[in-house]
Amino acid sequence: MGNTRALDRPTIRRQQIQLVKYDVANASDADEIINLLASVFSQSEPPAVAMGLSFADMKQFLQLVVPSVIPDGVTIISRSTSRGELAGALLTDDFASPLDLDMSRISHRFSPILSMLERLDEQFRKGKTVSAGNYLHLFMLAVNAQFAGQGIAQELVKTCIDNGSRKGYRTALTEATGKISQHVFRKTGFADRFSVFYRDFLYENKAVFGSIKEHEKAILMDRSLP
């Protein structure tokens, strides 16, 4: 569910650019990551908006996911060097260890989204042996709007790829759900593999993503690691 609302904003003036640094996330970063992802995704991620997921819905979901993912050592964050403010986050996990979600603890409005993502993932898994330590899954990408126009999303992806490569991962993949994040991933070497068109996707015989107009499809993308 790669997405980054900040990239939709005009490039900020050069004198306003804030220096940032990139690092692997740790447990102390969890709350800030949750709040940033919940804010950006509830406001601008196409399927989340189509399903009416609120900030509270996203936060409830992320409170289950983020603490279980951070210990993998593959989630990347960016912070302001002057104020320490979180500028961006790329929630990442091992594709061989799918999320073990208690669906009773999250909004039912997540179900169509998870079903769509699973359809993409099933296509990717066909004919492959997916073992731990081989497939790096770039799951959720967001940038703080105050840091727009600095290429932070692209640098988060590059840093994530470098970190994953050092850890021995051989392939990176993502399910990019908006045209902005799809552009970011293509610029960092990802190629389109499988797609689900929003206009055609049915959940319980309903075109649940029919309201999505500016974005054509969700795409599973991948690339080899150095």
Report the C-alpha gap between 96 and 84 in whole angstroms: 33
DSSP secondary structure string for all residues of 63-105 = HHHHHHHGGGS--EEEEETTT--EEEEEEEEETTS-----GGG
What is the rounded distance in angstroms from the CA atom of residue 55 to the CA atom of residue 61? Answer: 10
- Angstrom CA distances, 181 to 142, 206, 213, stand at 9, 26, 16
Contact 208, 197 (CB under 8 A): no
pLDDT confidence of residue 211: 97
Is the distance from CB of 135 to CB of 173 less than 8 angstroms?
A: yes
- Supply the pLDDT for residue 100: 84
Is residue 4's pLDDT more than 90?
Answer: no
Q: How confident is the model at residue 17 (pLDDT cuts 50, 70, 90)?
A: low
Can you give the pTM of this predicted structure?
A: 0.92
More confidently predicted of 33 and 17: 33
Please state the φ and ψ torsions of residue 4, each to the nearest 5 degrees: -155, 100
- DSSP 3-state of 219: strand
- The answer on pLDDT for 31 being more than 90 is yes
Q: Domain segments of the chain: what residues?
A: 18-98+126-224
Looking at residue 184, its amino acid is: V
Neighbours of 73 (CB within 10 A): 13
For domain 18-98+126-224, which CATH number applies: 3.40.50.300, 3.40.980.10, 3.40.630.30, 3.40.50.2300? Answer: 3.40.630.30
Q: Residue by residue, what is the 3-state secondary structure of 148-199?
A: CCCCHHHHHHHHHHHHHHHCCCCEEEEEECCHHHHHHHHHCCCEEEEEEECC
Residue 220 has pLDDT above 50, yes or no: yes
Average pLDDT over residues 145-155: 94
Residue 11: predicted pLDDT: 34
Task: Put residue 133 in one of left, alpha, beta given phi > 0 → left and psi -120 to 50 → alpha.
Answer: left
For 87-145, what is each residue's pLDDT tens digit? Answer: 999 999 999 998 888 999 999 999 999 999 999 999 999 999 999 999 999 999 999 99
Name the pLDDT band for 9 (thresholds 50, 70, 90): very low
In tens, the pLDDT along 172-215 reads 999 999 999 999 999 999 999 999 999 999 999 999 999 999 99
* Confidence category of residue 18, pLDDT binned at 50, 70, 90: confident
The first and second tokens of residue 121, run together, are: 């993932």
CA distance 50 to 64: 22
| pLDDT-based confidence at residue 3 (cuts at 50, 70, 90) | low
